[in-house]
Structure 1
Amino acid sequence: MSASTDTHHAGDAAAEPRPRVQSAARAVGILMAIAKSEAGLTTREISEQVGIGRQATYHLLHTLTATGMVTRAGGGSRYVLGLRVGTLAEAFSRQLAPSEHLAPLVRALARDTGETSYASGWWSGEVMMLSIARGNNPVQAAEVSQGHAGDAHARASGKLLLATATPAVRDAYLDAHTLTRLTPSTITTRRALERELETIRQQGYAIDDEEFAPGLSCIAMAMDEGYSPFVLVVTAPRERFLAKREEYLAALRRVVAAGAAARDGE
């Protein structure tokens, strides 16, 4: 297993080299790429998406296959997640307390923006609010309670999670839920929603402009570039939202980046 070491400027006395196992990071990258695919990936596709050479990809896939984390499908030409990944998924649901892990990021977002902020994610097939923090502006947007689920088509967080989901997950959700009109601005047709989701995928964030509640606007950004099932959201009265939208977007980018840096130990 190869390893690399991060180095710092000699003048930085407080910094110390930190060892990193490059092969482990690449293996995780392969698993994430396969997880985001609809029907698995070929060796060439994995190599291109993860950004590593074909030979290194082959060796890592051999190890992942031997450990049951991936397996061959499609006549052996494609790699899909193996059965042992199910153990990780089951443990994730059993062990994770989302509010505890997401709360620091939500609080940081509320401090940066002064607005009510929250995190939402996929939970048991629903888009659920998992953590919330109030801002310090004297006039705040009306809160939705922690644990609220449903109406993904009308919420910035829900639209973003639908946009970044696999087609199978997205279709399953939409087939099981009515696109209920909550305000005059709510999207209520599948075709219009699909167009909106494509726009969201292209711009990298989602907006709810009075689609969930009158006078309320929200902006959402995915964590981990959409690989994780969680998003962060800023919500504000519409008039203030229109004036500060770019500020909220910048704050979201900062907090998402800080979360990724903390996760990676940087």
Structure 2
Amino acid sequence: MGDQVPGASRTLEVLRFLAAQAQPVTAGRIAEALGIPRSSLYHLLRAMQEHGFVTHLPEEQRYWLGVSAFEIGSAYLRQDPLTRLARPVLARLVETTGRTGHLAVLHGREVIYLIEERPPGAHRLVTDIDVRLPAHLTASGRSLLAHLPDAQIRALFPTAAAFVDRTGAGPKSVPALLRELRDVRARGHAEEHGEVSERWSTVAAHATDRTGQPVAAVAATFREQQPAPPAIVDAVRRAARELTSRLTGRLGGRPQ
């Protein structure tokens, strides 16, 4: 298989090599260790750098793993324990509300859905496992974005083109998104009404880790109602607190 996709194989070899190093290394060291011609290696490193898998340190003329490699490694460590801890929480949320429940994490400007629990006979939604949706449109995304610094929000959404539209509703600028996120922080939960799928609403609340950082959103989706029914809001917030408790090992978790 490696001979059939040499570019992919070389990319993985470079990643494995960099991951095994205690310090950043020169291109010459990589080329020598892996037997890759320098001309080919520079093209490969440039492409990996553009995608965030390699960081170039120009003052030292050395290379190191990039943020994207860290994100993938972190996602592996996070998702399996996270989904195992969250699955019974989601099951109880669905049983309590009779609505579809979700677990999602933030990845850049998107949320990735890790769990979807549906009650018997429930309508199939777009928020299935491994689906990615624009974070600024989803309740799950907003519940997590609300706890990022404003400067980071501006960096994530640098231009109007970053505000993907699905149904014509939802924030379309950084000021509008920041206003929405302030409301989320004030309420203690996020709501989305028809911005992802017409005639559907979602309520979400965040769960935190031991450092107090939001790591995932717990959500319930139902036929559109504004405002969201208090019973669903309360159930989602309880579920988020329960997941926080399970993640931190502290009874009761952190207040939402």
Q: Shared fold by TM > 0.5?
A: yes
User: In structure 2, do the counterparts of structure 1 residues 224 and 119 end up closer, same or farther at CA, with 3 Å as the change threshold?
Assistant: same
1:231 aligns with 2:217: yes
Q: Hey, what does 1:245 align to over in structure 2?
A: 229
Q: TM-score, normalised by structure 2?
A: 0.60
Instruction: Give the 3-state SS of the residue equivalent to 1:213 in structure 2.
Output: coil
Cα pair 2:150 2:178 within 8 Å, conserved: no
1:140 aligns with 2:123: yes
CA-to-partner distance for each residue in 1:146-178, whole Å, 9 max, x for gaps?
112231111111112111123343223212762
1:127 aligns with 2:127: no
> 95, 101, 111: which one pairs with 2:85?
101
> 139, 149, 152: which one pairs with 1:169?
152
CA distance in structure 2 between the partners assigned to 1:123 and 1:185 by the alignment? 22
> 92, 99, 111: which one pairs with 1:115?
99
Return the offset for 1:103: 1.7
Q: Hey, what does 2:58 align to over in structure 1?
A: none
| Structure 2 segments unaligned to the other structure (5+ residues) | 1-69, 252-256
CA distance in structure 2 between the partners assigned to 1:126 and 1:155 by the alignment? 9
- The residue type equivalent to 1:133 in the other structure is E
Return the offset for 1:243: 8.0
1:211 aligns with 2:195: yes
- The residue type equivalent to 1:228 in the other structure is P
Q: How does 1:1-266 map to 2 (within 5 A)?
A: 92-96=74-78, 97=80, 98-123=82-107, 126-136=110-120, 138-140=121-123, 142-175=125-158, 178-224=162-208, 227-238=213-224, 241-242=225-226, 245-262=229-246, 263-264=248-249, 266=251
CA-to-partner distance for each residue in 1:57-94, whole Å, 9 max, x for gaps?
xxxxxxxxxxxxxxxxxxxxxxxxxxxxxxx9997444
- Percent identity among equivalent residues? 20
CA distance in structure 1 between the partners assigned to 2:122 and 2:168 by the alignment? 24
- The residue type equivalent to 2:143 in the other structure is L
Cα pair 1:141 1:216 within 8 Å, conserved: no
CA distance in structure 2 between the partners assigned to 1:265 and 1:191 by the alignment? 36
Q: TM-score, normalised by structure 1?
A: 0.58
- The residue type equivalent to 2:193 in the other structure is D
CA distance in structure 1 between the partners assigned to 2:123 and 2:197 by the alignment? 14
Cα pair 1:141 1:235 within 8 Å, conserved: no
| Structure 1 segments unaligned to the other structure (5+ residues) | 1-87
